[in-house]
Structure 1
Amino acid sequence: MGLFNKILGNIKLKILNSYFGYTVSSAPFDGEFWDHDVARATIDAIATRAAMGNMRHVIMENGQVKETVYDSPLAKMINERPNDVMSGFEFKYRMFANLETKTTAIAYIDWQVVDGNVIPVGIYPVDYANYQFRQVIGGGWAIEYNDFEGNTGYLRLQDCIIMRKFYNNHQASGDGNAPIYKALDMSKASDEGFIEALQVSNKVRGIIKQKKSMLDPEDVKESQNNFADRFKSAAQNGGIVAVDSMEDFKELNVNAYSANAVQQKQIESRIRSFLRTSESIVNSDYTEQQGIAWAQSVIEPLWEIFAQAVTCCGFTPQERDKGNKMIMSGGRLMGASLSTCVQVLNATKDTGELTTNERREILGYPPVDGGDVRQVSLNYVSADSQKEYQLGKNKDKNKEDDSDGKGKSDGKADDK
């Protein structure tokens, strides 16, 4: 079971027969997609950017954020140190990379009781070769999975973070990346054909023709070896090969046949389009508009998938009913031009949408103490009270209240 064998291998469950139907088994995965250079570079761009998002625990009320739980152990663990061998960034990167390569990413949360509270003590990505859903005796569901070493393990489904994409035919997993394998095969065949041609052209230099008739095969082989030695010696000493009048050497040119530049570019474009990421994004030479569009269409949906998966696994139904949920966000303006950042800062400087540290983060500066407090300008009032504020009616009313002795907190007027 790999590195986390000690943790995941200790889980013992009594399993019933599997849930009938192929759709509760995972889609096949062989690692071919991740092993392709263009696919890996594109997935790396997606996973790197998505892993920069921060997980936050919030409490919602009437569709709005009522409270942010800054000391949430689950959010802190995901963002900083989910287990003993991974940082928060590495864990998030691995989850998003697994989602792109396998179309299903799974992580197990290890819950323990500490001081009477149930808290997470570790989160571990599950490296599976295949898996299926199984019923547990006594109620509930489990994941029965096989790792790449042939071991079988069981995990409680309620303790697993599961993310899926291309989620249509299979119930247990995404449908896999099979539609892009033809493009991968074409790219692989082109590369292998070019390599083989280069190997032949580097090894076979030419053809030597003996003008002597009726040579014995052994004499032909001896003559060939003799010429090869002369050819090798010439390569090391001046580059000139001497031949006698009975030998005729003809240089052999082997052309490497493979997909031309246009065809190869089309194949690579199909792979990137399958991952909904352009070449400019992968090469980090995209425009501001391209970056924002890519973030909205690719990265933000991944954050939503991850946040909902953690919410379902990290909170009980009762906790979710009380508004507890996870959200993931961060760095939407990363990659934006400096002028755009300045425009955003100027537009929000008096309204309190951004804290001091959030404003510093946009500019790439580190946070400061006390910078997480929202500040607003006192030059703004409620629209309903705007007329009273401008005409000073509220001030006159306060004077009248004071003269009547109603302006005191204890309801009594001063004795004079």
Structure 2
Amino acid sequence: MFLLDVFRNWSNTRRNARMTRMLNGGLPIFSQFGSDIYASDMVQNCINVIATEMSKLQPRHIRSTDDQEIMPKGNINRLLKFGPNPLMTTSEFIEKIIWTLMMNYNAFVIPVFDVDYSNGIERRTYRALYPVNPSRVEFLQDPEGMLLIRLYFASGVDFTFPYQDVIHLRKKFSVNEFMGGGANGQPDNAALLKVLQTNHTLAQGLERAAKINAAVQAVLKVATLMDDDAAKAERARFERLIADGESGILPVDLKGEFIPIKGDAKFIEKDTLAFLKQSVLDWFGVSMPILTGEFNDDEYQAFYEKTLEPLVVYFGQKFSKILFSERELDVGNEIIWYHRDMNYLSTTAKLNLIKTAGEQGLLSDNQKLRLLGYPPVPGGERRTQSLNYIDINLVNQYQMTNLMNKGKAVEDNEQGNSS
């Protein structure tokens, strides 16, 4: 009911809107969005790794000028820092978006805002950002030509918003004009499903082989002809002998022969299983060390550059484009998703980072302490810089001064010797 009331009061429903047309002549109606691959634990683990790492990002509203970058105080930074809506923290907000994007190849975030036109310029005050998961979406066009998006939900309600006001994130945005995924606007997981089905079939075979190997331990050969009832009675007698044989010695009469079966089930080669598992990892851009948490600095850096960084850049571009007007973008406003938590680095790498960045005066004392896992100290905002560096514009002056000082010292020394 909470979100229903929020969207009902804010959504801009247009009764006269008509369905827009795609370039190929089709109608842009898309239903959400298959989830067959998510029965696989490997798929869920891969998405969870990406979502967990992305949830560490710290999005900020930055205004850049020619000579500086500032972080404006305002409602956008408050939302991004403490919680985009009353139901979620920032980490939960990001994690929700990533899971939805990876599952559906499309994710939608609805900004809720108030508009002020008092100075003749549209000014928005954002109140919340809500990630939503519609069951069906339609693209419409109003009589003025504005593109709209209508979101249908499983509860039966629907809302229509100007498309330019909705943050629509798309994965593998290729053949469809509006949606990520395949031509029908749904996840194109056919290649991955084949791998998962093969893996599932092999796993079932392993399970059956293990059960058979554990169930049949021996054969009791009876040297007489017996009907079914007699065979059952003989087997029951044999089982009682096993249960009562505390010494480990099993008495068998002349008509019975006990033949043990050595467990030697043939299982699938580990290279085959490793290949199938690697295919799933490659699909999501996650390596085995990242999945198990046993990575080094280089392995994490490769994971970040291949899998996370494209998302970081894309999120920054998309959120900036929707949350700011063209004028605000022109004067340097943007959303940057900072990945500044370096806890994955080894202690040696952290010390090297502190040394390099610290000597340049880029880190405060408290930032250095934070990298090492220590709490801040009073006065820790102080920044120190090595005297071994000089402004490039002062290099020539510095060298000329040194040259003149050396010449003067030589001249004074010669005058002293002559006197």
TM-score (ref. length: structure 1) = 0.75
Query: 1:212-227 counterparts in 2 under 5 A?
Result: 220=228
- Paired residues of 1:26 and 1:170 also in contact (CA < 8 A): no
Letter in 1 for 2:272: Q
CA distance in 1, matches of 2:346, 2:274: 30
- Paired residues of 1:112 and 1:121 also in contact (CA < 8 A): yes
Q: What secondary structure is seen at the aligned counterpart in 2 of 1:335?
A: coil
2:172 matches 1:166: yes
Letter in 1 for 2:62: V
CA 1:353–1:252 in structure 2 vs 1: closer, same or farther (change >3 Å)?
Answer: same
Consecutive unaligned residues in structure 1, runs of 5 or more: 394-416
CA distance in 2, matches of 1:142, 1:156: 4
CA distance in 1, matches of 2:218, 2:7: 61
Letter in 2 for 1:40: Q
Measured after TM superposition, the shift of residue 70 of structure 1 is 4.6
- Paired residues of 1:25 and 1:172 also in contact (CA < 8 A): no
Measured after TM superposition, the shift of residue 377 of structure 1 is 6.0
CA distance in 1, matches of 2:242, 2:87: 53
2:355 matches 1:346: yes
Per-residue CA deviation, residues 67-105 of structure 1 (Å, 9 max, x unaligned), is 322524223323321222321111112212222232222
Query: 1:302-313 counterparts in 2 under 5 A?
Result: 302-313=311-322
CA distance in 1, matches of 2:5, 2:232: 61
Q: Which moved more, 1:8-17 or 1:284-293?
A: 8-17
Q: What secondary structure is seen at the aligned counterpart in 2 of 1:33?
A: helix
Q: What secondary structure is seen at the aligned counterpart in 2 of 1:121?
A: strand
2:79 matches 1:77: yes
Aligned to 2:416: none
Per-residue CA deviation, residues 335-376 of structure 1 (Å, 9 max, x unaligned), is 222222222322233433333343333323334566556555
- Paired residues of 1:57 and 1:70 also in contact (CA < 8 A): yes
2:203 matches 1:191: yes
Aligned to 1:400: none
Aligned to 2:34: 30
Measured after TM superposition, the shift of residue 247 of structure 1 is 8.8
TM-score (ref. length: structure 2) = 0.75
Q: Give the alignment's Cα RMSD to 1 decimal.
A: 4.0
CA 1:200–1:390 in structure 2 vs 1: closer, same or farther (change >3 Å)?
Answer: closer
CA 1:387–1:30 in structure 2 vs 1: closer, same or farther (change >3 Å)?
Answer: closer
Measured after TM superposition, the shift of residue 282 of structure 1 is 1.1
Q: Which moved more, 1:91-100 or 1:364-373?
A: 364-373
Aligned to 1:19: 21
CA distance in 2, matches of 1:231, 1:19: 77
Measured after TM superposition, the shift of residue 270 of structure 1 is 0.4
Aligned to 1:127: 133
CA distance in 2, matches of 1:243, 1:37: 49
CA distance in 2, matches of 1:139, 1:350: 57
CA distance in 2, matches of 1:206, 1:376: 78
Measured after TM superposition, the shift of residue 250 of structure 1 is 8.5
Measured after TM superposition, the shift of residue 278 of structure 1 is 0.9
Q: What secondary structure is seen at the aligned counterpart in 2 of 1:348?
A: helix
CA distance in 1, matches of 2:262, 2:157: 52
Consecutive unaligned residues in structure 2, runs of 5 or more: 182-186, 403-419
CA distance in 1, matches of 2:138, 2:266: 44
CA distance in 2, matches of 1:42, 1:262: 20
Query: 1:235-274 counterparts in 2 under 5 A?
Result: 237-238=244-245, 259-274=268-283
Query: 1:130-145 counterparts in 2 under 5 A?
Result: 130-145=136-151
CA distance in 2, matches of 1:152, 1:286: 45
Aligned residues: 384
CA 1:208–1:189 in structure 2 vs 1: closer, same or farther (change >3 Å)?
Answer: same
CA distance in 1, matches of 2:157, 2:258: 60
2:328 matches 1:316: no
2:60 matches 1:68: no
CA distance in 1, matches of 2:251, 2:139: 74
CA 1:315–1:337 in structure 2 vs 1: closer, same or farther (change >3 Å)?
Answer: same
Letter in 2 for 1:131: V
Q: Which moved more, 1:7-16 or 1:41-50?
A: 7-16
Aligned to 2:405: none
- Paired residues of 1:190 and 1:258 also in contact (CA < 8 A): no
CA distance in 2, matches of 1:61, 1:55: 19
Aligned to 2:90: 88
Aligned to 1:7: 6
Query: 1:244-393 counterparts in 2 under 5 A?
Result: 259-331=268-340, 333-368=342-377, 371=380, 376=385, 382-388=391-397
CA distance in 2, matches of 1:76, 1:133: 32
CA 1:373–1:107 in structure 2 vs 1: closer, same or farther (change >3 Å)?
Answer: farther
Aligned to 1:411: none
Letter in 2 for 1:43: I
- Paired residues of 1:56 and 1:68 also in contact (CA < 8 A): no
Aligned to 1:181: 193
Measured after TM superposition, the shift of residue 43 of structure 1 is 1.7
Letter in 1 for 2:193: Y
CA distance in 2, matches of 1:143, 1:196: 50
CA distance in 2, matches of 1:153, 1:235: 71
CA 1:383–1:256 in structure 2 vs 1: closer, same or farther (change >3 Å)?
Answer: same
